[in-house]
Amino acid sequence: MSLTFDGRVVLVTGAGGGLGREYALAFGQRGAAVIVNDLGGDIKGGGRSSAAADKVVEEIRAKGGKAVANYDSVEDGEKLIQTALDAFGRIDIVVNNAGILRDRSFARTSDVDWDLIHRVHLRGSFLVTRAAWNHMKNQKFGRIIMTSSAAGIYGNFGQANYSAAKLGLLGLSNTLAIEGQKYNIHCNTVAPTAGSRLTETVMPPDLVESLKAEYVAPLVLWLCHEACQENGGLFEVGAGWIGKLRWERSLGRTVRQKNKSMTPEAVRDAWNEICDFTDATKPASIQESLQTLVEVLSKVDTGRGIGANPTGATATNPSAAVGQTLPEMTFTYTHMNCILYALGVGMSTKDPDHLQFLYEGHQEFSCLPTFGVIVAQSAMTGLGSVPGLDIDFTRLLHGEQYLELFKPLPTSGTLTSRATVADVLDKGSGMIVLLDVHTYSGGELVCYNQFSVFIVGAGGFGGKRTSQKAVVTAPPPDRPADAVIVEETSRDQAALYRLSGDWNPLHIDPSFAAMGGFKSPILHGLCSFGFAARHVLKQYAGNDVSRFKSIKVRFVKPVYPGQSLQTEMWKEANRIHIQCKVKETGTVVLSGAYIDLHAAADASVSAGPPQTDGLQSDLVFAEIGRRIRDLGEELVKKVNAVLAWEITKDGKRVRHWTMDLKSGRGALLREADGGRADVTFTVADEDFMDVVMGKLNPQKAFFAGKLKVKGNIMLSQKLEAVLKDYAKL
């Protein structure tokens, strides 16, 4: 479909000749009402005449278009817009094009040369655009063009005044693009090359003839069309070619060290790296630009950065760091740390299951397995002192994490960790350091962590690309997830989690996060990791921490506190594959992740696995399932709750059942309740039979300690409705 401008009102400044005339004719031809502005002066800004504008108006009208003339200088911006309003009642598009030249070598540039150029180009564009702005804002539509020049972008001999004004227009456009975006006002900049009276003095006549203005106008028309979403762009255009420009920035280098003054010598010594465009980035916003600085502040000032090598030698031989051991670290904690961590990863007294991790007086008070990363995390800091590595911490990303427990973590104690650089990999665009941390309690190995960190831009040292020592991620099976748990994180999740020892202000300070390019402070990756791990522990291990063997995770995207985490789980024997998403956006935040569990049987010590075949209760549940299918609706009305059952045999949980008597026609599922249950009954297989057979009254069973009830205890009263008549089985 061809691009038309019917109903649109366009102002083109300096449209009496050259490029402006071409734009005006093209807009007029495609249905727009055009205000042809030109004061009709000479190329140096002298003189005035209405002839130039009138002629173009005539040309447009002769072709059946709508146009009016305006002879004011762009320095009278309001008057130009008023002409549009008087003639056509609105203003939709402004093409700031008017321009003059006063070329002089810099030394000979007078105040007048400087001021005139700035008044016409920069101040003129400002005044015209400001006059149009509120009209565009109110109608929620506007398209603005600024006209820059290659002389501004690259510099040009004899054009100091012009270059400065022309690049000033790009700065103006960049900010208008940001301020206008939400009102559908787009502002773009063109740097044209065309033969005109402005260029005929500098270009050979042939070139002036061949570089036609009509090869520039189509870009301007497209950028001004309502269908074009481009905003804040800069384009070079000429001879029928169009290219887009953007900024490029070297990776740079931090030359400051904590508690030391920054010196020009350090800058000199790092000069090659500062100016090296290998792996350069292309920041597209001030946030992206500032993010680096924020990272530098956070890393250097918290002591996690090491800055430049003071000798000036750049890093050295990373591969030589392999096998090096960091100084031993100790970590002392009490039940308070375990509880604080559990709260940090979202546990709440709302869920009776969680009391086991939140109340030190609970019979089965336990430390969450993923607390194993907390006891070892200070090892990361130690990386800075490994000879040969020369890590720039401002470029460090926590890429992956592996944790394996050899016994459940004690709920208090002093643990000792030993960290070793397991391997250093060269990924070209960066370097991966695998840090193995073994943690001991009184000489006994408690857990093993592998931190996998990626240092952007530190690759290319000729090292190997893969390692046998890396614990690798695993993709989930190709089928819908077997179980899904969705849980909202709280507004204060990061505020709480950080108290377990990660003090980066990125997770708490809004202005710090904003400077880093985030709309608000983000959640710690290891916090989502904690959520996902306890979801699996609940779904597949009945919160039995002794079942937890290991976890592997890759961190992909950030999460904002308050968003909901959706843990998708696939069970493949004792491996539970996990993928974690932000529910609201569908963004994957943890990928390739899995948890390995010890088989349930492992938990029983020497008596061998409990007999799980032929449970008497299985028969009853089979019958209950049939009745729910027949009478589900009636039961849902009577009970209106989700009841979970845990059947034990020889003191071990051997079966989960979930009776959903809350929604639809009801359902019975042979699986853990996934956090949905209003009440959970734990009962031994044989006692369950007694209850069902009417030999044991549920209340009595409860007081005798044979029936444990977690959750809404009042729902026990509804048991009769569910179980009655089973005595007849």
Binding site for ligand NAI (CB under 6 A): 13-14, 16-20, 37-41, 43, 45, 52, 73-74, 97-100, 120, 124, 147, 149, 192-194, 196-199
Residue 239 DSSP one-character state = T
Q: How far is the CB of 73 from ligand NAI (least distance, A)?
A: 4
Q: Which residues pair with residue 189 across a beta bridge? A: 146, 234
Residues 6+ apart with CB under 8 A from 528: 559, 565, 580, 589, 590
User: Please, which residue, 52 or 389, has the CB nearer to ligand NAI?
Assistant: 52
HSE-CB for 303 with a 13 A CA cutoff = 6
User: Please, which residue, 36 or 677, has the CB nearer to ligand NAI?
Assistant: 36
Q: How far is the CB of 83 from ligand NAI (least distance, A)?
A: 12
Angle at 370 between CA 432 and CA 449, to 5 degrees: 35
User: Please, which residue, 21 or 524, has the CB nearer to ligand NAI?
Assistant: 21
Reference 233, options 114, 144, 312, 355; nearest CA is 144
The closest residue (CB) to ligand NAI is: 18
User: Please, which residue, 37 or 617, has the CB nearer to ligand NAI?
Assistant: 37
Which 3-state string (H, E, C) describes 585-636? CCCEEEEEEEEEECCHHHHCCCCCCCCCCCCHHHHHHHHHHHHHHHHHHHHH
Residue 562 DSSP one-character state = T
Amino acid at 685: D
- E strand or H helix at 295: helix 286-301
Q: How far is the CB of 87 from ligand NAI (least distance, A)?
A: 17
Q: How far is the CB of 209 from ligand NAI (least distance, A)?
A: 13
Largest distance between two CA atoms of the chain? 112
CA–CA distance, 577 with 475 (Å, rounded to integer): 7
Q: How far is the CB of 241 from ligand NAI (least distance, A)?
A: 13
CA–CA distance, 207 with 222 (Å, rounded to integer): 25
Q: Which residues pair with residue 488 across a beta bridge? A: 564
Could you say which of 162, 402, 497, 594 is catalytic? 162
User: Please, which residue, 192 or 346, has the CB nearer to ligand NAI?
Assistant: 192
Q: How far is the CB of 116 from ligand NAI (least distance, A)?
A: 9
CA 309 and chain centroid, separation: 32
Q: How far is the CB of 49 from ligand NAI (least distance, A)?
A: 9
User: Please, which residue, 154 or 277, has the CB nearer to ligand NAI?
Assistant: 154
Q: How far is the CB of 78 from ligand NAI (least distance, A)?
A: 13
CA 377 and chain centroid, separation: 23
Beta strands in 617-713 (DSSP E): 641-649, 652-661, 667-669, 679-684, 707-711
User: Please, which residue, 158 or 675, has the CB nearer to ligand NAI?
Assistant: 158
Q: Which residues pair with residue 236 across a beta bridge? A: 191, 243
Q: How far is the CB of 1 from ligand NAI (least distance, A)?
A: 30
Contact in structure between 93 and 34 (CB atoms under 8 Å):
no
CA–CA distance, 351 with 728 (Å, rounded to integer): 36
Residue 279 to residues 62, 252, 275, 340, 434, Cα–Cα distance (Å)? 56, 10, 11, 41, 22
CA–CA distance, 236 with 216 (Å, rounded to integer): 9
Q: Judging by beta carbons within 10 Å of its beta carbon (0-12, 13-18, 19+), is residue 284 exposed, middle or buried?
A: exposed
User: Please, which residue, 199 or 697, has the CB nearer to ligand NAI?
Assistant: 199
Reference 384, options 288, 508, 254; nearest CA is 254
- E strand or H helix at 147: strand 142-147
Q: How far is the CB of 193 from ligand NAI (least distance, A)?
A: 4
Q: How far is the CB of 29 from ligand NAI (least distance, A)?
A: 18
Please confirm, yes or no, whether 162 is among the known catalytic residues. Answer: yes
User: Please, which residue, 71 or 357, has the CB nearer to ligand NAI?
Assistant: 71
Reference 306, options 259, 252, 265; nearest CA is 259
Query: The dihedral of CA 554, 559, 561, 563: what is its sign?
Result: negative
Residue entry with tokens 């038309």: 4
User: Please, which residue, 196 or 452, has the CB nearer to ligand NAI?
Assistant: 196
User: Please, which residue, 57 or 522, has the CB nearer to ligand NAI?
Assistant: 57
Task: Report strand pairing: 430-441 vs 444-456.
Answer: antiparallel
Phi, psi of 230 (to 5 degrees): -60, 135
Active site residues: 162
